[in-house]
């Protein structure tokens, strides 16, 4: 698949992938490798180890792999580096170009004696008619991450940044539909990039002077229309600043429907006041989808039943996940039902704090089954939510 003259997509489409280290991927994913034909043919990133045969087939459609002179490793994570070793069997003289942290990580992962060429900010290599320039972007996604820019083509090979988990035979975002691709990019950001907002801001600043006509990420679709590039960069800017929409996310799990009763009443009251709300039971919604909604929303309501003095295990998993992703600049409220002790609710409240979410108002906890008086207390909560949102 030609992206531009003499620049080919040679990656692997992972149609069957349904879980990417805990992130649900109902649309599968792709690992994008790009082959640049020039005096020194260059491969930018590879694919997961199990996609190697397909990548090699794609490369052979274009060039004899022994001719490859450089393999650019923008990121050590194995969805991109997993096939470098196998590729080097075909082109043993090729240099592996990466950041200093990349060299460290690749050696640790593969114990390799590869020929490394370590680059840092602004370094470039000539591959013939074209130049490749490198910009480390630490923590977007790992300390080793970097992006590669080709000034002659105005292409940014952005690795994980601007990516989406989406398998399709189309290669360009505008072919799939920009709304779909932006939604996938949003889920990707919420579940992969969210904790690294300040590093994303720095990376966007470093790249803002580059004229960009095409963004080739390492997952999903390529951005080629000027309006789409502008849109995804604007979205990244907004997400990196932890901006939110005037929405409420309610995430809960229930044992005997008491916490659910509270969640439903809260939802009804918010709807009655015309507020946008999403009600998510962890029995039905995957934590990665709940997390996407949390990133979108200004107020986060978390509810659980208490089991053996602890919150429910599904809620424990969600909170562990959310604490790692740290959706800052949001307000939070906790609720739930208990039998004989409220001690377990401390986990809910601590998790909000650890996630960087500010407590909005007093929690509402109900003994056994909430009565109408307890449910009415939620009306006061809705007033606070409204104030926080507006």
The nearest distance, CB 142 to ligand FEO, in angstroms, is 6
The nearest distance, CB 29 to ligand FEO, in angstroms, is 9
Please pick, among 14, 38, 79, 103, the residue that the annotation labels catalytic: 79
Helix (H, G, I), strand (E, B) or coil at 346: helix
How far is 255 from 257, CA to CA, in rounded Å?
A: 6
User: Buried (b) or exposed (e) across 279-312, using 16+ Cβ within 10 A?
Assistant: bbbbeebbbbbbbbbbbbbbbbbbbbbbeeeebb
Please, which residue, 75 or 330, has the CB nearer to ligand FEO? Answer: 75
Please, which residue, 75 or 278, has the CB nearer to ligand FEO? Answer: 75
Q: What is the dihedral of CA 43, 44, 48, 52, to 10 degrees?
A: -10
Q: How many CA atoms lie within 13 A of 192 on its CB side?
A: 24
Please, which residue, 217 or 370, has the CB nearer to ligand FEO? Answer: 217
Residue 220: both structure tokens together: 């999903």
Torsion sign (Cα): 262, 268, 270, 276: positive
165 is annotated as an active-site residue: no
Are 148 and 134 in contact by the 8 Å Cβ rule? The answer is: yes
Please pick, among 14, 38, 45, 77, the residue that the annotation labels catalytic: 77
Please pick, among 23, 34, 149, 188, the residue that the annotation labels catalytic: 188
> Would you tell me how many other CB atoms lie within 10 Å of the CB of residue 50?
12
Residue 49: both structure tokens together: 């180890």
Phi, psi of 309 (to 5 degrees): 70, 10
How far is 70 from 208, CA to CA, in rounded Å?
A: 27
160 is annotated as an active-site residue: yes
Residues that bind ligand FEO (CB under 6 A): 75, 77, 79-80, 141-142, 160, 218-219
The string of DSSP letters for 205-223 reads HHHTTS--SEEEESSSPBB
Please pick, among 75, 80, 165, 166, the residue that the annotation labels catalytic: 75
Helix (H, G, I), strand (E, B) or coil at 241: coil
The string of DSSP letters for 22-54 reads TEE-TT-EEE--EEE-SSS-EEE----GGGHHH
Residue with nearest beta carbon to ligand FEO:
77
75 is annotated as an active-site residue: yes
Please pick, among 80, 165, 166, 219, the residue that the annotation labels catalytic: 219
Please, which residue, 143 or 316, has the CB nearer to ligand FEO? Answer: 143
21 is annotated as an active-site residue: yes
Is residue 56 within a helix (H) or strand (E), and if so which, with residue range? Answer: helix 52-60
The nearest distance, CB 63 to ligand FEO, in angstroms, is 25
User: Where in 228-329 does DSSP place strands (E)?
Assistant: 245-253, 276-281, 297-307, 310-311
The nearest distance, CB 195 to ligand FEO, in angstroms, is 13
64 is annotated as an active-site residue: no
The nearest distance, CB 219 to ligand FEO, in angstroms, is 6
289 is annotated as an active-site residue: no
Please pick, among 80, 141, 165, 166, the residue that the annotation labels catalytic: 141
Torsion sign (Cα): 226, 228, 230, 233: negative
Please, which residue, 45 or 253, has the CB nearer to ligand FEO? Answer: 45
The nearest distance, CB 77 to ligand FEO, in angstroms, is 4
Please, which residue, 12 or 142, has the CB nearer to ligand FEO? Answer: 142
Please, which residue, 18 or 257, has the CB nearer to ligand FEO? Answer: 18
The nearest distance, CB 190 to ligand FEO, in angstroms, is 15
Minimal CA–CA distance to 292: which of 249, 331, 246, 263?
Answer: 249
Please, which residue, 141 or 278, has the CB nearer to ligand FEO? Answer: 141
Q: What is the dihedral of CA 43, 45, 50, 55, to 10 degrees?
A: -30
The nearest distance, CB 84 to ligand FEO, in angstroms, is 14
Residues with active-site annotation: 21, 75, 77, 79, 141, 160, 188, 219
């Amino acid at each position: 698949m030609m992206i531009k003259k003499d620049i080919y997509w040679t990656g692997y489409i992972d149609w069957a992938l349904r879980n990417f280290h805990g992130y649900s991927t109902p649309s599968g994913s792709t690992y994008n490798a790009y082959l640049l034909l020039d005096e020194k043919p260059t491969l930018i990133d590879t694919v997961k180890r199990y996609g190697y045969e397909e990548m090699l087939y794609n490369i052979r459609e274009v060039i004899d792999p022994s001719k490859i002179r450089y393999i650019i490793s923008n990121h050590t994570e194995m969805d991109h580096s997993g096939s470098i070793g196998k590729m080097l069997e075909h082109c043993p003289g090729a240099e592996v170009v990466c950041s200093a942290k990349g060299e460290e990580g690749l050696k640790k992962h593969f114990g390799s004696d590869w020929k490394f060429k370590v680059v840092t900010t602004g370094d470039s290599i000539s591959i013939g008619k074209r130049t490749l320039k490198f910009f480390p972007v630490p923590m977007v996604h790992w300390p080793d991450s970097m992006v590669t820019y080709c000034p002659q083509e105005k292409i940014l090979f952005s690795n994980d940044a601007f990516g989406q988990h989406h398998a399709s035979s189309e290669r360009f975002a505008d072919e799939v539909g920009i709304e779909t691709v932006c939604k996938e990019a949003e889920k990707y950001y919420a579940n992969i990039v969210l904790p690294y907002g300040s590093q994303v801001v720095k990376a966007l600043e470093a790249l803002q002077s580059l004229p960009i006509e095409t963004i080739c990420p390492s997952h999903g679709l390529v951005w080629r229309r000027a309006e789409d590039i502008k849109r995804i960069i604007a979205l990244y800017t907004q997400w990196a600043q932890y901006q939110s929409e005037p929405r409420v996310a309610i995430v809960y799990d229930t044992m005997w429907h008491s916490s659910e009763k509270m969640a439903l009443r809260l939802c009804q009251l918010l709807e009655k006041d015309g507020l946008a709300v999403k009600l998510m039971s962890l029995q039905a919604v995957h934590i990665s989808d709940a997390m996407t909604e949390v990133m979108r929303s200004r107020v986060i309501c978390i509810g659980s039943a208490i089991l053996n003095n602890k919150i429910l295990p599904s809620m424990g998993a969600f909170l562990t996940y959310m604490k790692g992703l740290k959706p800052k600049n949001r307000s939070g409220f906790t609720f739930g039902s208990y039998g004989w002790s409220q001690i377990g609710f401390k986990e809910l409240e601590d998790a909000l704090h650890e996630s960087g979410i500010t407590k909005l108002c007093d929690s509402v906890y109900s003994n056994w089954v909430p009565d109408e008086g307890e449910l009415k207390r939620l009306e006061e909560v809705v007033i606070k939510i409204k104030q926080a949102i507006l």
